Amino acid sequence: MKALVYTDVETLEYRKFANPEPGPDEVLVRIDSVGICGSDMHAYLGHDDRRPAPLILGHEGAGVTADGRRVTINPLVNDPNSAASRSGRENLCPSRQIISMPPREGAFAEYVAIPERNLIEVPSHITLEQAALAEPIAVSWHAVRLGLASLHPADERRAHVIGGGAIGLAAALALTAMGVEQVTLSEPNAARATYLRDTCGIAVVDTPEQDIPLVIDAVGFSSTRAVASALVSPGGVILHIGLGSSEGGLDIRRITLQEITLIGTYTYTAQDFRDTCNAMFNGRLGTLDWVETRDLSDGAAAFTDIRAGKTLAPKTILKP
């Protein structure tokens, strides 16, 4: 098959690659659409020890099975018998794997191998470009679910999202879908901010209100954590999704004196992934049209453009 292979720091080669071989209980999915994630960019820049070259990146895939089913892929492969999986927390399974991380190749390719249980069938009114958004939206859906469960019952359901990438946008959409009426978002890139306002109907603000019960850091650098620490109300919750930097930024004195909860969140449970798909399929997450598409063969240029801040849409989707 043809694949976009990460071969060295800042180097992606579109070339032939051995077809993946499905293991027991696994199927081959012919990829139709696959999104580029911030973590793919992180790996491409050589910043992710978990993803050494050579490797096929990409874990946000949708496509078609050999028997003709249109599917979106939950890329998180876990041991169904681990204690974490049995408690419904597949994302905490100690033997969890994700496609695009060894030993599993990713979906920037014509085919990917994946357990049958990781497939969600896509109804005919949803395109496979839209279906490829299930994975990033599930990340945010899961985070928002954890955050709302941790908010004190007396606190207002009011939220602010830091960062207007796909995860930040999806967090805003998930908040709205879960009934939070006051949702704002901050995004420093003016063109992206305008896109989010005009295309996605998001309340992008330059200066967020203070004292917000639920603050979502969808970036994860020390600078955004400092903003989150200052914005969150006493007794409030910070959801930390991003993997930008591993230290600094949190005002731990304020977190302690004002009883703030910080929740690290990673991927999603299998149920969150299904719930996200259902919400997408039922229209509760909007029109799902905030994408740009590129040929997979053009993938290297897509990475360069994203890095240069030239893409307006929060999600770039590659088409094999």
Interacting residues with a second copy (CB under 8 A): 83-84, 86-89, 91-92, 94, 146, 150, 152-154, 220, 225, 234-235, 240-243, 245-248, 250-266
103-125 as b/e, with b when 16 or more CB fall inside 10 Å?
Answer: ebbbbbbbbbbbbeebbbebeee
**C-alpha separations of 193 from 36, 113, 225 in Å:** 19, 37, 20
The residue among 111 and 273 lying less far from a second copy, judged by its C-beta, is 273
Task: Find the farthest-apart pair of alpha carbons in the chain and give their distance in angstroms, rounded.
Answer: 58
CA 217 → CA 5, 129, 147, 301, distances in Å? 30, 26, 12, 28
Q: Toward a second copy, which CB reaches closer, 125 or 253?
A: 253
Q: Kindly tell me which of 222 and 287 has the beta carbon lying closer to a second copy.
A: 222
| Residue with Cβ nearer a second copy (211 or 289) | 211
Instruction: For the CB of residue 255, give the shortest distance to a second copy in the complex, in Å.
Output: 4
CB of 257 to a second copy, least distance (A): 5
User: What is the smallest separation between the CB atom of 138 and a second copy, expressed in angstroms?
Assistant: 14
Say how far apart CA 233 and CA 252 lie, in whole Å.
14
Minimum distance, C-beta of residue 252 to a second copy, in the bound complex (Å): 5
- For the CA atoms of 110, 113, 118, 123, the dihedral, rounded to the nearest 10 degrees, stands at 30
Location of structure tokens 């249109």? 70
Minimum Å gap between C-beta 26 and a second copy is 25
- What does the alpha-carbon distance between residue 269 and residue 86 come to, in Å, rounded to a whole number? 11
Length of the chain counted residue by residue: 320
Nearer to a second copy, 62 or 212 (CB): 212
